[in-house]
Structure formats: C-alpha cells, structure tokens
Amino acid sequence: MGKFLPALNVIPKLRDATAHSMTKLSEKTLEQTGIFSRFLMDVADVFLFMARFNKELFSGRFEWKEFGHQCYQVGYKTLPLISITGAIMGLVLTIQSRPVLADFGAVSMLPGMVTVSLIREMGPVITALICAGKIGSGMGAELGSMKVTEQIEAMEVSSTNPMRFLVVTRVLAATIMIPLLVLYADLLGILGSWGGANIKGSVTFTLFFSQAFSAVDFLDFLPAVVKTFFFGAVIGLVGTYKGYNAGRGTESVGIAANSAVVLASLLVIIVDMIAVQITDMIIS
C-alpha cells in the first residue's frame, strides 16, 4: 500500500494542473470567440453601411453643390501629387527597362512596352494607392473629427441627412475623379517616359508617341479604366466608413485615418487581382 502513496499525492496536483489548463483554455476560447464575434459585427456594420449608402444614393435630394466641392477636393487638389508621381513613374520605368531591352537589341520596343505597362497596371494601381493615402486618410480624418466634435449630430438635428450630404457625395466624387486622375497619370507617365528615353538617346516626341500608342489596343485600355472606377468606390467607401464610424475620443480620429489608408490600400490590391483574373478569363 505504502508504495502507492507517492502516486496518490500526485493526483491533487494533477487535478489542479488540469483545472488550471482547462481555465486557461476556456479563457482563450472566450477571447477568441470575442475577437471572432467582433469581426463578424464589423463585417455586418460594413454591409449595413453599404446598404444605407445605396439607399441614400437613389432616394431624396442629391447634394449637387457638395458633390461639386468634393470633386474639386478629390480631383483638383490631388493633381500636383499625381503629376509628380505619374511623370516619375514613366521616367523610372524607362530608365530601368532600357538596358534590358538594349541587351536584346529591342530598344525600339521601349515606348510600347512602357505605355502598355503604364496603362494596364502601373498607372491605375500606383495612382489608386496614392489616392488611398491622400483621399482615404483625408476622408477618414475629416469625418472622424466631425464625429468627435458632434458636427455630424448637429447636421442630423438641422434636418440634413449626413449620410447623403457627407458620404454619398464623397464616395461618388472618388468614384468619378479617380479614373480621371489615373488617365492623367498615364499621360504624364508617357511624357516622363519620353523624357527618360531622351536621357541616353534621342527620339522625337512624334515618333515616341506613335510607337507608344501603336502598341496599345482597346483591350489594354478598357479593363484598366473599368477597374479604376472600383478603386475609386473602394477608397471612398472605406474612407467615409472609417470616419463615420470613428469612436468618441480624439485618438479615434488618428485611428480612423490610419485604418482607412491600410484597408483601402489592401482592398485596391485585392480588387486589382480580381480585375486581372476576370480580364484574363474574358480575353482568353
């Protein structure tokens, strides 16, 4: 009997250890369930926000004046940034590609290659990412600050639908202006590329442009333009959603702006991937 005693002493310790492990496990499970349910609630919030956006888009009086103001803010105020990045994008792409093409004796293909790259992918994605940073964060911070300082509630009390006035106008402005900004960035990229081609060689403006556009056909152009409307909508929706649903403290303004940029950039890349897959399926 005596030889079993040490083993019996172990049982309470084992029981306590098991109970401790079970408690830890259940705490962890509860924590993870909490995170998961919060995630599901966030997803539900996004869908409710989009449903409300659609409802407000097609009902009631449209805020034309505010829409015009937002087009000016989103479009015109972003032009300098897009001009610089667009031109540098074309210039860098040309300088980087030239030696590789020169190795194959295909420098004459440089304008066409750069233009197709810019129109199909580089122009839309880089411009959209820059807009996600500038416009998405701007919308997140502006609406977040309006929420914190009770301006959205003040609007609601003065018989103005803040969803229609603040959200619908901003999302539509981003949806319409970002494709235009992308086209503008493409054009400046091609001009930058012509500048890059003239650093180590000499090519006339007319020759460069005729070679550039002879390489581009309608199927390069159309899907690229169509996807930019989705980029614009995503940036506008994410920016306004994050701002409109900001918390109460001043800290939440920063969080809204930051998370708007991160989520909008991520969604731009995901939408691009989906758009490329769909385009590939349709073309092939």
Partner 1 sequence: MSTFPTDINTIAWPKATDRESVIEINNLKKSFGTQQVLKDVSIKLYKGENLVILGKSGSGKSVLIKCIVRLMNPDAGTINVLGENLSTLNTDALGLLRQKLGFLFQSGALYDSMTVRENLEFPLRRIKKDLSEKEISEKVIEALENVGLADALNKMPSQLSGGMRKRISLARTIVVDPMIMLYDEPTTGLDPVTSDEISELINEVQKKYKTSSIIITHDIECARATADRIIMLKDGEVYTEGNIDDFETSTDPLIKSFFK
- Interface contacts to partner 1, rule CB under 8 A: 142, 145-146, 149-151, 153-161
Smallest distance, partner 1 to C-beta of residue 67, A? 15
* Nearer CB in complex with partner 1: 130/174: 174
Taking the complex as a whole, how short is the minimal distance between the CB of residue 181 and partner 1, in angstroms? 22
| Residue recorded with tokens 């009086």 | 61
DSSP letter at 108 equals G
Task: Pick between residue 45 and residue 217 the one whose CB is nearest to partner 1.
Answer: 45
Please tell me the total number of residues recorded for the chain in this structure.
284
- We find the least distance from the C-beta atom of residue 142 to partner 1, in angstroms, to be 8
Taking the C-alpha atoms of residue 148 and residue 180, their distance in angstroms, rounded to an integer, is 33
157 or 282: CB nearest partner 1: 157
Identify the sign of the CA torsion 40, 44, 45, 46. Answer: positive
CB closer to partner 1 out of 71 and 233? 71
| Residue that has been written with the tokens 């909508």 in this structure | 233
Considering the complex, what minimum distance in angstroms separates the CB of residue 50 from partner 1? 19
Closest by CA position to 78, among listed 195, 232, 224, 243 = 232
Which residue, chain included where needed, has tokens 């989906």? 274
C-alpha span between 205 and 235 (Å, rounded): 35
Report in angstroms how near the CB of residue 150 gets to partner 1 at its nearest.
4
Query: Closest distance between partner 1 and the C-beta of residue 183, in Å?
Result: 29
| Separation between Cα atoms, residue 118 and residue 112, nearest integer Å | 10
Question: Contact at 8 Å (CB) between 224 and 162?
Answer: no
Instruction: Determine the residue type at 121.
Output: E
* 92/155 with CB nearer partner 1: 155
Q: Is the Cβ of residue 83 or residue 151 nearer to partner 1 in the bound state? A: 151
CA distance 96 to 60: 52
